Each structure stands twice: as C-alpha cells, then as structure tokens.
Amino acid sequence: MTDSARTSDGPALLAQAKALLPRAAAPYSTFRVAAALEDASGVVHPGVNVESASLGLTICAERNALFGALARGATEFRRLAVVANRSKPVLPCGACRQVLMEHAPDLLLVLEAPDGGVEEIPLRDLLPRPFLSWSREP
C-alpha cells in the first residue's frame, strides 16, 4: 500500500491494513497491529505499531496512521481499518480513541467481524464522552 492508495469499501480497506501487518515492530509483545486510515478524498494512510523497550515510547498503529496523515496535510477522515495478528477483532486503545476523536469525531472503524465479515462501528460509540479542552466545542 502506498500513501496514494485509494479504496472504496470496507473489505478493501481491511485488506490494505492486513498487508501492513508484517511491517509492525512488536519485538516485546509480538502483538502486531496495522491500520489503514482513509481520508475524505479517499487516500489511505498506513500505520503500524512500533514498540520501544521504554514502553511509554511505543506508538499504536492507529495514531501512527493519523499522525502521518496529518503530516501529509490531510485534515478530514472517513474510515479506519484496524487489524492484528490474532483471530479476534481488535479495537483502538483509550489513548487512540481520544486522539482520533479530536481529529476525526465522525470516523467509522472498520473491523473484521468474528464470522469473517466486516463490522463498522462509529468512533463516537466507543468514546461517547471524550475529554475536550475548555477552548474546544464538542
């Protein structure tokens, strides 16, 4: 997947995320996670988790994708596919939910359902009452 990859449906976005899994750097946990973030123009931004021996310096795939997209000038986002090297679907952690909510409150999360199908969950369902600074409106 390249930064200019485009997608049009959930299964295609999940496939792009799955293709990124080998790039995840998870030498300590071996829990590889990959994310494919689709911006408003259809461009897909890749992200993988990158672990550090100093655990607090580790970055999740979801924030990695978001930060890269923001660095490239994207400001509006539609969907985020998240996959891991395990059989169960994986959801973003609390830190990722908070950061995603600040930059993409209407984001849809695209996950592989336990039956192998595709499940889409609005980010707002996972973080219905996010922290917002006093200077920002919800």
For 110-119, what is the mean pLDDT? 88
pLDDT at 2: 44
Asked about 62 being catalytic, the answer comes back as yes
Query: Does the structure show a pLDDT above 50 at 42?
Result: yes
Beta partners for residue 37, in sequence order: 45, 80
Catalytic residue among 38, 62, 102, 112: 62
Whether the CA torsion 54, 65, 46, 10 is positive or negative: it is positive
Domain regions of the chain by residue span? 10-126
What is this structure's pTM? Answer: 0.90
Per-residue pLDDT tens digits for 7-32? 568 999 999 999 999 999 999 999 99
How many C-beta neighbours within 10 Å does residue 106 have?
Answer: 11
**What topology does CATH give the domain 10-126?**
Cytidine Deaminase; domain 2 (3.40.140)
